[in-house]
Structure 1
Amino acid sequence: MPSFFIHKGITPSNKTEKYRLQLSADVNAYGYKNNKGYRVNILYPVIDKLSVTIPVDEEYRKAVDGSLYKIHKQVKDFSDISKNGKKYHVSANWTDKVTGQKVLFQCNPKSSKAVNYMRFELNPNKLGPDGMRRFKSILELLVTYGNYPYSRILEEGYITRMDIAVDIVNVAPHELIISGKDKGKSIKFLGKGSNELETVYLDKPKTKSSQKMIYDKLQEQVDKGNKPSFNEVLHTRAEYTHAGAPFSNIPNIKNPFKKMKVIHPIFKPDGVEDWIWQLFLNSCRLKGVEASLSLLPDHLRASHRKALEKAAEVTWRPEMLMDKWKDYLIKSKVLTSD
């Protein structure tokens, strides 16, 4: 049984609330104290969404088609999905009874340009290691009749989408200064009524979606009617979408969190009134750090820069986040055949 540590956190209503966090070196990357003395915890990245396509030998395609087409009539944990609007002729959902998580299976693509014949989509983080084992058994025995064990999919599969998520517990997005590589546009969404930042997409190309987003995970859970992960304590998520890579290559991906910068401004220069400091921080969030520093008189610029640089070193350490990436892939059962 995992051990848990009880932390105190802040809720959106500014009340303190206790929450549990697993006491494990595999879960918690690092932490720091905010300017109110409460600990902010940054967790190691997890895979929140995984979509993989698989080449199926022509001799096995009819068997896979037939299996997925009728499986909802034979296995109660499966449900049929209308093919309307889908890119595949056959789609079926499997529901893991233990976690309640759904796994989407699809085959027989409608486009003649499609390279791979079969596809699955799931959330490894919510399925957990045991759920991943159950999924692999279903995939091998009921969907592909033993012809495509997970070991083969690891070798031949292709990632079309993998969302890698880092949870930042006890801070809201509007408290942070967030930036990307300035290689595209940043798109920001404010909360209804609050006008506080809820979601920011970074470095969006002209014709494609952004691969980087930071958003209010607590608010998303509340909006969807889901149970908050940390007992209604502020919860921000940084997420990177990795796509277009062989499945077998995921242990070697470049650190995606170096492509975004997050500053929690927990330090304030001496002699600066709080309301002035808050106005400066709001400028940083809107215009960027360098542009905001350039607006300051010369005698204030150095102290303000130093405060932000010190905070940046403490609050965002992307090199630490990927320290245990390979271990996570094994323990989560994403990268093992068992």
Structure 2
Amino acid sequence: MPVKISATASQSSNKPQPFPKPKPPYELFPTTLSMCDGRIVRVSVPVPDRLSMIIDITPDIFGPKTPAGVTVAQWVKGAGHYLNSNPHNTQPLGCQYFENKQWYRHVTLGMGPRDSSVRFEFSEQTNKAPARLRIELNPRKLGPKGFKTLLAILNDPDGPFAGKAVLKSARVTRIDLAVDLEGVQTDDLVAFHKNEQQRSIYIGSDGVIETLYLHGKSSKTKPAGKVLVGLYDRAKERIKKGKEPPFGPSPTTRVELVKTMKAPHNSLAKIATMADPFGSIRVGYLMGQGAKPKQWWREYVGLRRGKNHVATIALLGLDATMAEQFASAYLVPCPELVSKGINWSGWDQGLEVTGLNLLLGAQK
């Protein structure tokens, strides 16, 4: 079992795992764990990493200066023109306008200090659903400054939106939650989701796993199944983009949980108080699952990248006792890094550091 140690404890006896330069900020990485082999892992608070919400287009969300009797199509055209004018010093990143229908399909604006954007997507009424506005963004990238710009757009007295009404009627369809693990590569971890059906694994040129996706049930539109959770190497991801690794030479893995939400439990207001979503996932240290002998356990996990349990056992020639032990360990019985009751206490901090709390507070 992991042992929680204080952030100020001396690590002089753990020479292979020195404090990285720069060290993760304590307020965002409040948990420090010592693994079974002495490795030190710092666990971040969960942060919202993607947010998608829909709003029914009704007169209730029209801005205060919208003329009486305006149709939905007229409002969409006006809203699109407004957004396409780059309000509040935003940057145009793309739009699609159907001239024959006089209808905007979407407008995407850049805002915030980082490489971030907000997409406004307008869908027409169908037999199954009313006309809707979909707003998609990445809270982690947008940050507090970006959310202030978004709120300025929604609350612009001369604009097309009634900001408070928009936010009160917003329903979240998807929110991704990210937890960073500083001190471990993706290859050092084992993960399990209760609804997983298959996996996708991407291995780098060094033979080490860079990305692992756990998929749900397949469908016609998504043969591999929708992604339930992803684990990827943040350092390698940033290096490929020409950026510095987040914590110098120290490896860092990001765990992203995809949570879909449905009515009547998906109002934007409920995001701050939603129940712990990590009950469906277990992420633990590979060598901390109690499987022995460790060399065979590593071989088993490596072969499971492309084979099922039965084929792996046959290839390794393991007896029934060891086969049962490895099958149990593969379900991550010791999820010391990410699971229910471990990470969720820091959700308030995640909302604050990204600025999503500003959006939640603006609807009151």
TM-score interval w.r.t. the shorter chain? 0.7 to 0.9
Counterpart of 1:229 in structure 2 is: 246
Counterpart of 2:168 in structure 1 is: 155
Unaligned ranges ≥5, structure 2: 1-6, 12-16, 60-68
How far the C-alpha of 1:141 sits from its partner, in A, is: 0.9
Q: SS at the partner of 2:33?
A: strand
How far the C-alpha of 1:321 sits from its partner, in A, is: 0.9
In the alignment, residue 148 of structure 1 is paired with which amino acid?
A
Counterpart of 1:66 in structure 2 is: 78
Q: SS at the partner of 1:162?
A: strand
In the alignment, residue 162 of structure 2 is paired with which amino acid?
Y
Pairing partner for 2:26 from 17, 23, 26: 23
Q: SS at the partner of 2:286?
A: coil
Counterpart of 1:32 in structure 2 is: 33
After superposition, the C-alpha distances for 1:172-191 in whole angstroms (9 at most, x for unaligned) are: 1111122221x442222222
* Residues 86, 92 of structure 2: 8 Å contact kept: no
Q: SS at the partner of 1:178?
A: strand
Work out the CA distance in 2 between the residues paired with 1:191 and 1:122: 29
**Cα distance change of structure 1 residues 33 and 288 upon mapping to structure 2, 3 Å threshold:** farther
After superposition, the C-alpha distances for 1:224-244 in whole angstroms (9 at most, x for unaligned) are: 334432235322122122223
How far the C-alpha of 1:43 sits from its partner, in A, is: 1.0
How far the C-alpha of 1:247 sits from its partner, in A, is: 1.9
In the alignment, residue 193 of structure 2 is paired with which amino acid?
G
**Cα distance change of structure 1 residues 93 and 206 upon mapping to structure 2, 3 Å threshold:** closer
After superposition, the C-alpha distances for 1:15-38 in whole angstroms (9 at most, x for unaligned) are: 9952321121xx225231246644
Pairing partner for 2:255 from 238, 261, 269: 238
* Residues 49, 124 of structure 1: 8 Å contact kept: yes
Q: SS at the partner of 1:19?
A: coil
Counterpart of 2:3 in structure 1 is: none
How far the C-alpha of 1:132 sits from its partner, in A, is: 1.4
Counterpart of 2:42 in structure 1 is: 41
Work out the CA distance in 2 between the residues paired with 1:148 and 1:218: 42
Q: CA RMSD in A?
A: 4.1
After superposition, the C-alpha distances for 1:160-181 in whole angstroms (9 at most, x for unaligned) are: 2211111111211111122221
Is residue 329 from structure 1 mapped to residue 351 from structure 2 by the alignment?
yes
After superposition, the C-alpha distances for 1:240-268 in whole angstroms (9 at most, x for unaligned) are: 22223322232343433221222213459
Pairing partner for 1:92 from 103, 107, 117: 107
Pairing partner for 1:248 from 264, 269, 278: 269
**Cα distance change of structure 1 residues 55 and 45 upon mapping to structure 2, 3 Å threshold:** same
**Cα distance change of structure 1 residues 129 and 249 upon mapping to structure 2, 3 Å threshold:** same
Counterpart of 1:176 in structure 2 is: 189
Is residue 312 from structure 1 mapped to residue 334 from structure 2 by the alignment?
yes
Q: SS at the partner of 1:251?
A: coil
Counterpart of 1:278 in structure 2 is: 298
In the alignment, residue 21 of structure 1 is paired with which amino acid?
P
Q: SS at the partner of 2:250?
A: coil
* Residues 121, 133 of structure 2: 8 Å contact kept: yes
Q: Percent identity?
A: 20
**Cα distance change of structure 1 residues 91 and 65 upon mapping to structure 2, 3 Å threshold:** same
Counterpart of 2:65 in structure 1 is: none
Pairing partner for 1:79 from 88, 92, 95: 92
* Residues 172, 267 of structure 2: 8 Å contact kept: yes
Q: SS at the partner of 2:360?
A: coil
Work out the CA distance in 1 between the residues paired with 2:52 and 2:182: 27
Work out the CA distance in 1 between the residues paired with 2:291 and 2:271: 46
In the alignment, residue 336 of structure 1 is paired with which amino acid?
G
Is residue 201 from structure 1 mapped to residue 213 from structure 2 by the alignment?
yes
How far the C-alpha of 1:47 sits from its partner, in A, is: 0.8
Pairing partner for 1:103 from 118, 128, 141: 118
